[in-house]
Amino acid sequence: MKNTIMKNKSKISVFLLLLAVLGVITCFTPSTALAQDMVVTGGDIHIHEGEQANSTIVIFGSTRVDGEVWQGVVNILGNTEINGNAGSVVAIGGPADINGTAGDVVVVAGPALIRGQVSGDLVAVGGSVKLASNAKIMGDLVIVGGTLERDPGAVVTGSEVSLSLKEALSEQIVQWLKGFPFPTPSSPVFWWRLVSLFLTAVVLVLVSILFPKVTAKTAHQLAVSPILSLFWGILITFLALPTTILLFITLLGIPLAGMLWLFLACAYYLGFASLSILLGKKVLTSLGRKEPELYISTLLGAVFIGIITWIPYAGMLVGWLLKITSLGAAVLSLVNRQKS
């Protein structure tokens, strides 16, 4: 009996490890169709003075804008420096220096230094904010889990909201227990939910832009096999932790456990993005839009799912089921892609 159990556990471990290896290779294979979109991984982007660009996305590198970027500047795990003009700016895991003019600015897990003008809102999560004497924020200033240093002469025309992560989480739980899904804008919970929803939407849009073919196939898998996807999602969710424990028993299995969870993270966001695309397209199609853009569908779907999860009790359960199903669809899609 024990030998049979160990054999079954070994088969499960081998299966999940194979998925991890295949998933990591698939998730980090860049799409050649997006070279013109100024998407750089492991490198830098510098828009020189007098130059213009539509948008930039940099992962593991720095972004410097001395010219003009019409729409958005996104940087993940790198430095962001705006000396010219930019639309919205999103910096995750790195510092952001705004010396010129930018629209809405969101900085996560990194310091923000403002010496120029922010035409929209400035939102900082998990990092410090310094406003120099010539800084000007035309919209709201929202700081979650960070500190503010403000020199004399700095101007904020909108409202100012500052709260710790403990305050945001504790009040979030209280609101859930009370059954109030939509707090007023004066409540810290409102800003916490809004920032969380925005950051999730940004990540999902990035996934859909970087890996359009994989997300499209996963969305198709989700549409044609929702029950099978739910089954595999539940199975993977319940087997992931026991498999990790088995791998940690041996020292050689520790790196494989890390690969397993890296694959699960990739599959989770891939499935979440595909689910957002599927829902967003259905909503836009019902409104009469024949061929909605990929990023608009993803953004709309992510917002729709986020609002669903805000509903007390039932919303959390529905959100969990949707995400588990999308995880299963992503794994099935990745496995079928490698087979083909």
Report whether pLDDT(225) > 80. yes
- Read out DSSP for 61-118? S-EEESSEEEEEEEEESS-EEESSEEEEEEEESS-EEE-SEESSEEEESS-EEESSEE
List of long-range contacts for 150-159, beta carbons under 8 Å, 24+ apart: 154/114, 156/131, 158/121
Q: Which helix (H) or strand (E) holds 171?
A: helix 165-178
Q: Determine the number of helices (DSSP H) and then strands (DSSP E) in the chain.
A: 8, 20
Report whether pLDDT(286) > 90. no
* Higher per-residue confidence, 85 vs 90: 85
Give the model's confidence band at 34: pLDDT under 50 very low, under 70 low, under 90 confident, else very high: very low
Give the model's confidence band at 300: pLDDT under 50 very low, under 70 low, under 90 confident, else very high: confident
Tell how far CA 89 is from the center of its chain.
15
Tell me the per-residue pLDDT of 36-83, one tens digit each, with 9 for 90 and over: 467 787 889 999 988 888 888 887 889 999 999 987 888 888 899 999
The pTM of the full predicted model, rounded to 2 decimals, is 0.49
Q: What is the mean pLDDT of residues 202-231?
A: 85
Residue with tokens 């699960």: 264
Task: Name which of 17-21, 220-224, 266-270, 325-329 the model is least confident about.
Answer: 17-21
Distance CA 142, CA 140 (A): 6
* Higher per-residue confidence, 278 vs 337: 278
Closest CA to 107 of 118, 96, 120: 96
**pLDDT value of position 183:** 56
